A and B are shown apart, each in its own frame.
Chain A
Amino acid sequence: MESYEPDRLSPAQVAAVRRSLRNGRGAMTRRSLLRASTTGALALGGLGALSACGIPAAGKTEGGTAADDHSAKEKTVSFSNWTEYMDVDDSGKHHPTLDAFTKRTGVKVKYTEDINDNNEFFGKIKPQLAAGQDTGRDIIVLTDWLAARLIRLGWVQKLDPSNLPHAYANLSAQFRSPDWDPGRAYSYPWQGISTVIAYNKKALDGVEVKSVSDLLDNPKLKGRVGFLTEMRDSIGMMLLDMGKDPEKFTDDDYDAAIARLQKGVDSGQIRRFTGNDYTSDITSGDFAACIAWAGDVVQLKADSPDVDFVIPDSGYLTSSDNMLIPNKARHKTNAERLMDYYYEPEPAAELAAYINYVCPVDGVKDALAKIDEDAANNPLIIPDKAMQAKSHSFRSLSSKEETAYEAKFAKLTGA
């Protein structure tokens, strides 16, 4: 800056220019210095750094998937689960089934309920898994499609069947061979989830709701119908209603389902798409009816008798939340022992009696009847033959399909 001083300027002018760098508006104050250096740094360093970063391809992480198994030395296992997905004793501080596991095996369980949303949790663990680092978790519980994605990306470890004898023997037929993990090489279900239609008797006021078509077509329900932001649940129920099979549908079927829902959005029939917060809408009666998860409805019913559910004749959707061991987990064997423990009838019954989701374990009925007779006879917890016949699952999607379908669904929900 100082080197260029044109001859034409008089000495006084030169002095003025120099002074102006020290005083007045153009002065090199701390603020302007900061401003200049930040801009400079961003401009210079930025361009270089921009090209330098990038996200490596998945599955090509260095050093393999397994870490040294510290199970024998460190008698501990860390378990990340969804909120309110575990039995709690009356004091609210202890988890009886986990305590019993620790008592029997000496393995301490670090139990955290830090999963609230599949997408959010994926965003949280993605950087570590993509970089081939330990997430600090030995067991994570994720819904089918996300479990499928992690398996596809090679971010979870293959299970050792010799550590899982009960799980192998007792897993219900319904959950045995999903197309994304045939024979359960990587995952075991924690609980099953049924997607059904929930309604509020008071808000319906005599209107009959039996199918997804009723939700979309009955003008009396205008602006009081809810769908879920989980693409597979909303579209899956729509496909079933249209007579398609969510286990094998085509792109055209998908587009037709989107178009049918879009009509409901445009006409104002659908009030909004919700996550778990539909529970407050359906209890308050703002939703007269909505797509809902049966486990929630069983719990809601206990508090608000107006809320109930119906299973459409066209069928309902079943998915599951699955236990997985992420890459580089430090306590793989301990994790497998804990997984296996929950496939023994007694702990499984104790858990099912408390959380009211679909129990994926065969042979719990007797153990459950000892704790809670009603639960043992509830087809939402232990599905009978008639229920199982109506159950469908959503087929797994390739990475390309997933992106395209999610983008279409996002447009449907407003963004």
Chain B
Amino acid sequence: MATLTEAPPPLSPTAPAHKPPRRRGRWTPYWLLLPGLLWLCVFFALPMIYQASTSVQTGSLEEGYKVTWHLATYWDALSEYWPQFLRSVLYAAAATILCLVLGYPLAYLIAFRAGRWRNLIMILVIAPFFTSFLIRTLAWKTILADGGPVVGALNTLHVLDVTSWLGWTAGDRVLATPLAVVCGLTYNFLPFMILPLYTSLERIDGRLHEAAGDLYARPVTTFRKVTFPLSMPGVVSGTLLTFIPAAGDYVNAELLGSTDTRMIGNVIQTQFLRVLDYPTAAALSFILMAAILFMVTLYIRRSGTEDLV
């Protein structure tokens, strides 16, 4: 309604008579959109409708499932599994922060300091993707094995005493604890953080750094006032690309975790495949989607950028 209070700019009296010169191309954008829209419809909208329907059905495998608009499924699912929801958000947030802390310096190095090593380091970042997600996660079981060098070193340095006290690990082991799951999540999603960070850092004009120096800014100030703000699109999209899949992940919790580290993805998997409670599984998926959508919207609003990368 803001438009009503402003003085309207003068309308050109001939405006309606002026037709845009090229009417021919009017439908082109829509034709170009068509394949994408069809794709979205078949592989996104239809499955969504199907899932939404499943979430309000009741029945059993023998008797079949009927839509009964049993919305209580949502409430039951939420009140039963809220700890797993909370845990998923916490683990995903921890992994995202760790990714940012680890990924930013690396992306900075690749963008500004790597010189002729740039391509090699980029390949090293992407290289783990050449093996499967499962193998990469299983590798962490070897790395963090109870008798392995990593756990041995952490025990000698009494680091595990501290993390045990914090409840991140249990006794003198790392595997099958929250710490192991967060480590796995961080490792698996790190490239999704580094790549957008790199693209937006690489785009920064080097002369801006020089200009900041010329204006007597110390390197820290330059980073705080120039580099970091300009890399915000990368930070936002990197955190989103890390947080969203991490919150729904179940492989890491399955392989590196224990009974008290199960995430919402595990619950959905169990309900869908083992217990065969399809309505609850579908309802949980929708709640997860709504929760993530809500958090992401808030986050994008707050960070004030719609320009992702």
Contacts and interface: CB of A to CB of B under 8 A. Distances in A.
Contacts, number: 147
Interface stretch (A314-322, A352-360, A382-390, A406-414): A406-414
A382 B258 CA distance: 36
A296 interface: no
A58 B60 CA distance: 9
Contacts of B50: 53
Interface string B173-215: 1011000000000000000000000000000000000000000
Contacts of B66: 54
Interface in B8-62: 8, 11, 29, 33, 45, 48-50, 52-54, 56-57, 59-62
A120 interface: yes
Contacts of B84: 415
Given A272-B259, A414-B261, A16 B266 contact: no
Interface string B147-180: 1000000000000000000000011010110000
Contacts of B61: 58, 149, 153, 399
Interface residues of B, number: 56
B176 A50 contact: no
Interface residues on A, range: 35 or more
A46 B50 CA distance: 9
Given A122-B273, A223-B171, A270-B259, A54 B8 contact: no
Contacts of B271: 410, 415
Contact of A55 (B59, B138, B258, B259): B59
B223 interface: no
Interface stretch (B110-118, B124-132, B274-282): B274-282
B275 A407 contact: yes
A66 interface: no
A42 interface: yes
A49 B3 CA distance: 39
A285 B146 contact: yes
A280 B138 contact: yes
Contacts of A42: 45, 48-49
A410 B274 contact: yes
A54 B67 contact: yes
Given A24-B3, A410-B271, A272 B257 contact: yes
B170 A403 contact: no
B266 A414 contact: yes
Contacts of B33: 30
A243 interface: no
B11 A15 contact: yes
Nearest to B8: A16
Interface in A31-59: 38, 41-42, 45-46, 49-59
Nearest to B280: A407
A214 B137 CA distance: 31
9 contacts: A12-B8, A54-B64, A56-B64, A57-B62, A58-B61, A268-B170, A280-B138, A403-B276, A406-B274
3 tightest A-B CB contacts, nearest first = A57-B64, A414-B259, A414-B262
Interface of B: 3-4, 6, 8, 11, 29, 33, 45, 48-50, 52-54, 56-57, 59-67, 81, 84, 138, 141-142, 145-147, 170-171, 173, 175-176, 255, 257-262, 266-267, 270-278
Given A153-B61, A403-B276, 8 more contacts: A17-B3, A55-B59, A272-B259, A284-B145, A285-B145, A399-B61, A409-B274, A414-B258
